[in-house]
Every structure is written in C-alpha cells, then in structure tokens.
C-alpha cells in the first residue's frame, strides 16, 4: 500500500504551486493511537489562504494541508477505547487531512453515525457551525425576520440558507454571477439577486421594504458597503471573509446616519471562549441534521491526493457550484 500526504514546505501567491503529494510511512502506533484511512476532506477558502500565507493562523513548515474530514478506522492501539475497525470517525481539527491516512489519538476522534453520507459529514467541522453561530450570536432574530448575505452559493452560504429556513427566518441571498442564482433558489433561498448597482433598491423591492437587521459579508471591498446599504437603522453587519482580497469598504453615513454596527467572526476564536457543553450541543445538532439528510452542501468535484495541485487550483478558481473534496 502507498501512503500519500499533500505537503508544502513554503507558501506563495499561487497556492497550487507550493503543495505536492509525497509518500510517507505511518509511525508505529502508541497505545492510545489509531490509524485512520481518510474517506473525504474538503478544501475550504481558509485552506487556500493558509497556502498563500494570508490566514490568521499559519502552521510551522513543512505542513500537511487539510483541517477537517472523516475517515474509517484501520488499526487501533491496545488502549484505543471503544473504537472499532471500520468505524466512521470525524478527524481532529488541523491534523492534516489531505492524506490517504492519518494517525491520531483515540480520544480526539468522534464516532459518526453509520450509513450517513461521509462526504457531507466531512464538511461538518468548519462551515456549518460558522453559519449557525452567525445567525445566533449577533442579533436576536425571531421567526419571520430577514437576513441578507453575500456569496450565498458558498459552503457557509448554503448552510446558512438551510439553517435560517429551519428557524423560520427569511433570507436575501446575493451572488456574484447569474449562473449561481438557480442553485441558491434550489437550496431554499427566499430572494436571490446578483450583486451590483442599486442593490439596496432591488433588495427593498424584493422584500416589500422589510427591515433587515443582520447582514453577513464574506467578500469585503465595495461589496461590504453595498450590503451595509441594505440594512435597517441600528442593524449589524458581520464579516467573516475577504474573497475579493480587498479591505472592507463602508460609507461613513452607515455609521453616522444609520447607526450600524460592524463585527467580525472567526470560528477559531469562538472555540477559545465557548464552553465544552456549548460546543457539544452545537455539533450534536449539526451532526443530526447532516446525518439525517436535512442539511447538505453541494459538491462540485472530488480529487485523489495525487491530484492535489489540480484540486487546489479548482478550489482557488472560484467559478464553481459546490465544494472541492479530497477523496483518497
């Protein structure tokens, strides 16, 4: 058997140029370790930013790509607890999941329901909790309230649409190209519009002049200001990404005359302060929704570890409808 991992020894502006598949030999297991064959691991925007050196946390080099995923237990150390060979497990955050196999401590592996879609569960760790927390942590929303977001066809965007619908919220979803509209509508988006001029007027017309108190921005640049212009007086704008590569722009009148609040969200920071009970409750609920098929994200394409350069290039390109997955 050939063991492969997607490794990088440097960072650079073209992410696919710095990463490559290399063979490795897993170490001999210690008593509490488990060898896991990776089933699926997504490529998130944060993973691409890590390769370019633009993310908030950068691992020491050399490093193996991939921060989340699922796998099946292949071999257990003698003190690996109740884990069994063949069991589907959630891999530890940041363990280098773009690989054929991962070695991890048994206590860091979370058993997952049998029979569930492994590719959907592979995307559990980052995007679903981000969407869920942005809907609950900043504005006290009630059933019937409206939320507006951009990049609605992204991983976070698709989960946000579905979670909002389950909570009785209504969504205005902004995309950057006409070809993305149908996919967001199919996910359950109430209003789907292409970003651009006179956005506030178009949003008001589509919602009947609804007062929108929460806006969620992943683009930055001028798109932030367009989203802010759609919010009601005293509303809150939450930014969690800079897909434009530009700093957020926002007009002073949004602060002076409309009394908006601008906040940032980073899941890693939430983990630092949230209680263990809060984390368990959040992931327990999200796991049930995904495992039961009540929530899912589109998958654009899958790649093997040896195709890591092509996979990262596809994830970096942006013109796609769904997540890129590594499926060893």
Question: Under 8 Å CB-to-CB from 47, ≥6 apart: which residues?
Answer: 65, 66, 67, 315
Instruction: Tell me what the pLDDT averaged over the chain comes to.
Output: 95
In this structure, the answer to whether residues 186 and 109 fall within a common structural domain is no
In this structure, the answer to whether residues 144 and 264 fall within a common structural domain is yes
State how many domains the chain has.
2
Q: Has residue 52 been placed in a domain? A: yes
In this structure, the answer to whether residues 143 and 116 fall within a common structural domain is no
State the Cα angle at 194 between 317 and 145, rounded to 5°.
115
Average pLDDT of span 260-285: 93
Residue 322's pLDDT is what? 87
In this structure, the answer to whether residues 187 and 99 fall within a common structural domain is no
In this structure, the answer to whether residues 152 and 212 fall within a common structural domain is yes
Query: Lowest-pLDDT range, 205-209, 219-223, 249-253, 302-306?
Result: 249-253
Question: Under 8 Å CB-to-CB from 304, ≥6 apart: which residues?
Answer: 326, 327, 328
pLDDT bin (cut points 50, 70, 90) of residue 297 is very high
Question: Under 8 Å CB-to-CB from 115, ≥6 apart: which residues?
Answer: none
Q: How far apart are CA 172 and CA 14, in angstroms?
A: 33
Domain endpoint, select from 224, 252, 268 = 268
In this structure, the answer to whether residues 260 and 172 fall within a common structural domain is yes
In this structure, the answer to whether residues 132 and 261 fall within a common structural domain is yes
- Domain interval for residue 68: 4-123+297-326
Q: Has residue 116 been placed in a domain? A: yes
pLDDT bin (cut points 50, 70, 90) of residue 321 is confident
* The 3-state secondary structure of the chain, one letter per residue: CCCEEEEECCCCCCHHHHEEEEECCCCCCCCCEEEEEEEEEEECHHHHHHHHCCCCCCCCCCEECCCCCEEEEEEECCCCCCCCCCCEEECCCCCCCCECEEEEEHHHCEECCCCCCHHHHCCCCCHHHHHHHHHHCCCCCCCCCEEEEECCCCHHHHHHHHHHHHCCCEEEEEECCHHHHHHHHHHCCCEEEECCCCHHHHHHHHHCCCCCCEEEECCCEHHHHHHHCCCCCCCEEEECCCCCCCCECCCHHHHHCCCCEEEECCHHHHHHHCCHHHHHHHHHHHHHHHHCCCCCCCEEEEECHHHHHHHHHHHHHCCCCCEEEECC
Buried b (16+ CB within 10 A) or exposed e, 185-197: eebebbbbbebee
Q: How far apart are CA 233 and CA 14, in angstroms?
A: 41
Average pLDDT of span 71-80: 92
Q: Has residue 292 been placed in a domain? A: no
Q: Which residue has the higher pLDDT, 233 or 318?
A: 233
pLDDT in tens, 176-199: 999 999 999 999 999 999 999 999
Q: Has residue 231 been placed in a domain? A: yes
Q: Has residue 288 been placed in a domain? A: no
Please give the positions annotated as active site: 55
For residue 67, what is the domain's CATH number? 3.90.180.10
In this structure, the answer to whether residues 142 and 112 fall within a common structural domain is no
In this structure, the answer to whether residues 56 and 153 fall within a common structural domain is no
In this structure, the answer to whether residues 95 and 212 fall within a common structural domain is no
Contact call for residues 235 and 263 (beta carbons, < 8 A): no
In this structure, the answer to whether residues 180 and 132 fall within a common structural domain is yes
Contact call for residues 130 and 265 (beta carbons, < 8 A): yes
In this structure, the answer to whether residues 167 and 53 fall within a common structural domain is no
Question: Under 8 Å CB-to-CB from 57, ≥6 apart: which residues?
Answer: 50, 268
For residue 198, what is the domain's CATH number? 3.40.50.720
Q: Has residue 66 been placed in a domain? A: yes
- CB atoms under 10 Å from CB of 46, counted, come to 19
Q: Has residue 285 been placed in a domain? A: no
Residue 164's pLDDT is what? 98
Q: Has residue 286 been placed in a domain? A: no
User: Is residue 300 over pLDDT 90?
Assistant: yes
Residue 122's pLDDT is what? 97
Residue 320's pLDDT is what? 79
Q: Order of strands, edge to edge, in the sheet holding 236-239?
A: 191-194, 170-175, 146-150, 214-217, 236-239, 261-264
Q: What is the pTM of this model?
A: 0.92
Verify cis geometry, omega within 30 degrees of 0, for the bond prior to 294.
Answer: no
- CB atoms under 10 Å from CB of 285, counted, come to 14
pLDDT in tens, 6-40: 999 999 999 999 999 999 999 999 999 999 999 99
Residue 276's pLDDT is what? 85
């Amino acid at each position: 058997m050939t063991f492969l991992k997607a490794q990088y020894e440097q960072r650079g502006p073209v992410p696919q140029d710095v990463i490559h598949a290399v063979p490795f030999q897993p170490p001999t297991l210690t008593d509490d370790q488990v060898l896991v064959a990776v089933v699926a691991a997504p490529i998130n925007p944060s993973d691409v930013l890590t390769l370019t050196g633009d993310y908030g946390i950068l691992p020491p080099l050399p490093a193996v790509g991939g921060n989340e995923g699922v796998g099946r237990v292949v071999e257990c150390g003698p003190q690996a607890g109740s884990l069994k060979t063949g069991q589907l497990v959630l891999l530890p955050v940041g363990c280098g999941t773009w690989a054929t196999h991962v070695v991890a401590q048994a206590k860091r592996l979370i058993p997952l329901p049998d029979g569930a879609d492994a590719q959907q569960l592979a995307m559990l760790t980052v995007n679903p909790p981000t969407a869920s927390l942005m809907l609950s942590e900043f504005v006290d929303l009630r059933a019937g309230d409206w939320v507006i977001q951009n990049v609605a066809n992204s991983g976070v965007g698709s989960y946000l649409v579905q979670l909002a619908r389950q909570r009785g919220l209504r969504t205005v979803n902004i995309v950057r190209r006409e070809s993305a509209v149908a996919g967001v509508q199919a996910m359950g988006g109430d209003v789907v519009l292409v970003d651009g001029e006179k956005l506030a007027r178009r949003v008001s017309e589509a919602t009947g002049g609804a007062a929108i108190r929460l806006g969620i921005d992943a683009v930055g640049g001028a798109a932030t200001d367009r989203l802010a212009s759609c919010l009601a007086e005293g509303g809150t704008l939450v930014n969690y990404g800079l897909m434009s590569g530009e700093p957020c722009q926002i007009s002073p009148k949004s602060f002076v005359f409309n009394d908006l609040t601008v906040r940032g969200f980073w899941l890693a920071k939430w983990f630092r302060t949230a209680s263990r009970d809060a984390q368990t409750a959040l992931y327990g609920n999200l796991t049930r929704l995904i495992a039961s098929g009540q929530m899912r994200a589109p998958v654009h394409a899958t790649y093997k570890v040896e195709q890591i350069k092509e996979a990262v290039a596809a994830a970096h390109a942006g013109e796609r409808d769904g997540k890129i997955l590594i499926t060893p």
